[in-house]
Structure 1
Amino acid sequence: MPESSAAQEQPPQLALKIGLRDEANFENFCPRESLAAVLDSMTRPAAEPLQFLHGGAGVGKTHLLQALCHTTEGSLYLPLADVHGSPPRSLLDNLEMAALLALDNLEFIAGDSEWEEALFHLINRARAVNCPLWVAARRPAMELGIELADLRSRLAGGVTWAIAAANDEEMRRILQFRAERRGLALPDPVASYLCARETRALGDLMDTLDRLDSASLQRQRPLTVPLVKAVMGW
């Protein structure tokens, strides 16, 4: 007996909130003046369904996409870095039926003609049913190396948001904000030292903060520069 049309329209369960981290929410995202407009756009319906985030590795794009999915029931998050080796047609079928669709790591499918065509059709289907579509990549649409002109045009035709890397002061505030969220005191000298020694990627800084939090608890000592040097081997 053939499946009902309603069953056929359900998005693949494999993709449902794949890879969402519990801590990737708006409450854990330190507000920055430069991101005020994009954060505001994520909290209200937009006239343009396609929203394109671009910025270098570790600037917070994934956190923002996942936070948006956490707040939207029936949303779908799909990191293309994890699935670009799979056949795109079956994977992308019916994803436009989601309440909101977030596609991360778009740069991973650039130059793959099969993926580019499938993504182009998905964008068209999402627009036809007014499904909000958020896409993130490391570079603007016209600089990704996408070969399908129609796809480049679709991506460039949406609302584009440039996510800049945090400066030193913003990075220090982000570290202290996240430390405070977990009840960990992070004095200015320690935060500044971490920002000077660790990479600029927010993910690496958060991993380091996790490690230092555990060490502080185990040793029953507050975070100081000497403790950080001992734990990190710097």
Structure 2
Amino acid sequence: MTPDSATASNQSPQLPLQIGLQDETTFDNFLAREALAPLLDSMSRPHCEPLQFLHGAAGEGKSHLLQALCHATDGAVYLPLAVLLESPPSDLFQDLESSSLLALDDLDVIAGRREWEEALFHLINRARAAQCPLWMAARRPANDLGLQLADLSSRLAGGVTWALSAADDSDKQAILQFRARRKGLVLSESVAHYVCSRESRALADLMETLDRLDRASLQLQRPLTVPLIREVMAW
């Protein structure tokens, strides 16, 4: 997953910006590492807790998982706050508690913005009263976001927290091969290892490279081999 931020609504209330969920961000397109099994189990029952909070480094799958949850839930709303800061928060959050599920991404960006923090605090209260489950994600734990509003910190601390551990090199290679298979590509273990050894270790960069190689393979009608990858990537 990339730090992909697209405003989205799955049959949701009208929002200031409607871009849509990314097609590939589904649970079927997410390689579930063993360490994530409890989180994915909870996501299969998204209404079991009123507030759940994911945190982890960029590129570890937070945005993908939130969007996948919205793909799987009719009437869900996904809001990537990083691209919505120009919108008045009181307008953006208006009546969202009537949705079947809310997923707020990039929570880091509102830290220190009093108007946003207060608007989120009130949204959490309204969502709880309306029994609308609220899922949120940030790069850091809630108690390390630098929030100014103590009541908001308390609300976040009262929810269920999930830490997404960083994928190691073997995980990243497995994810690369998994996503290649989902695209209908044959990416051998040795070729996948070659790509991972040359490209940035960030999963977002690996996925962008895979997309580039996919296009080149289709255009040139050649399988993904080390010589082709060297040619395309100029490695």
Shift of 1:183: 1.3
Determine whether 1:122 maps to 2:137. no
User: In terms of mean alpha carbon deviation, does 40-49 or 61-70 score higher?
Assistant: 40-49
Q: How does 1:9-24 map to 2 (within 5 A)?
A: 12-14=13-15, 18-24=19-25
Match of 2:162 in 1: 161
CA contact (8 A) 1:16 1:75 kept: no
Shift of 1:143: 0.6
What percent identity do the matched residue pairs reach?
A: 68
Question: Which blocks of at least 5 consecutive residues in structure 2 are unaligned?
Answer: 1-10
> How many angstroms apart in 1 are the aligned matches of 2:146 and 2:232?
42
Shift of 1:12: 4.1
Question: Which blocks of at least 5 consecutive residues in structure 1 are unaligned?
Answer: 1-9
Match of 1:211 in 2: 212
Match of 1:136 in 2: 137
Distance of aligned partners of 1:95 and 1:227 in 2 relative to their CA distance in 1, 3 Å threshold? same
Task: Kindly provide the CA deviation profile for residues 17-51 of structure 1, in whole angstroms up to 9, marking residues without a partner as x.
Answer: 74410110011001110111111101114432101
Amino acid at match of 2:220: R
CA contact (8 A) 1:17 1:77 kept: no
Q: 3-state DSSP class of the match of 1:28?
A: coil
User: What TM-score do you get using the length of structure 2 for normalisation?
Assistant: 0.91
User: In terms of mean alpha carbon deviation, does 42-51 or 58-67 score higher?
Assistant: 42-51
Q: What's the RMSD between the two structures over aligned residues?
A: 1.7
Task: Kindly provide the CA deviation profile for residues 144-198 of structure 1, in whole angstroms up to 9, marking residues without a partner as x.
Answer: 1111111011111100000112111111111111111121010111111222222
Amino acid at match of 1:169: S
Distance of aligned partners of 1:196 and 1:228 in 2 relative to their CA distance in 1, 3 Å threshold? same
Distance of aligned partners of 1:103 and 1:17 in 2 relative to their CA distance in 1, 3 Å threshold? farther
Q: Judging by fraction of residues, say which structure has more helix.
A: 1
Shift of 1:222: 1.6
Match of 2:176 in 1: 175
Shift of 1:128: 0.8
Q: 3-state DSSP class of the match of 1:13?
A: coil
Match of 2:228 in 1: 227
How many residues end up aligned between the 2 structures?
225
Match of 1:7 in 2: none
Task: Kindly provide the CA deviation profile for residues 123-152 of structure 1, in whole angstroms up to 9, marking residues without a partner as x.
Answer: 011111110100000000011111111101
Match of 2:85 in 1: 84
Shift of 1:84: 1.5
Distance of aligned partners of 1:17 and 1:61 in 2 relative to their CA distance in 1, 3 Å threshold? farther
Distance of aligned partners of 1:152 and 1:102 in 2 relative to their CA distance in 1, 3 Å threshold? same
Larger Rg: 1
Structure 1 segments (4+ residues) deviating >6 Å: none
> How many angstroms apart in 2 are the aligned matches of 1:150 and 1:18?
32
Q: 3-state DSSP class of the match of 1:56?
A: coil
Match of 2:5 in 1: none
Amino acid at match of 1:231: V
CA contact (8 A) 1:120 1:151 kept: yes
Task: Kindly provide the CA deviation profile for residues 49-106 of structure 1, in whole angstroms up to 9, marking residues without a partner as x.
Answer: 1010000111110000000000100000100001122211111111111000000000
> How many angstroms apart in 2 are the aligned matches of 1:11 and 1:174?
31
> How many angstroms apart in 1 are the aligned matches of 2:165 and 2:201?
12
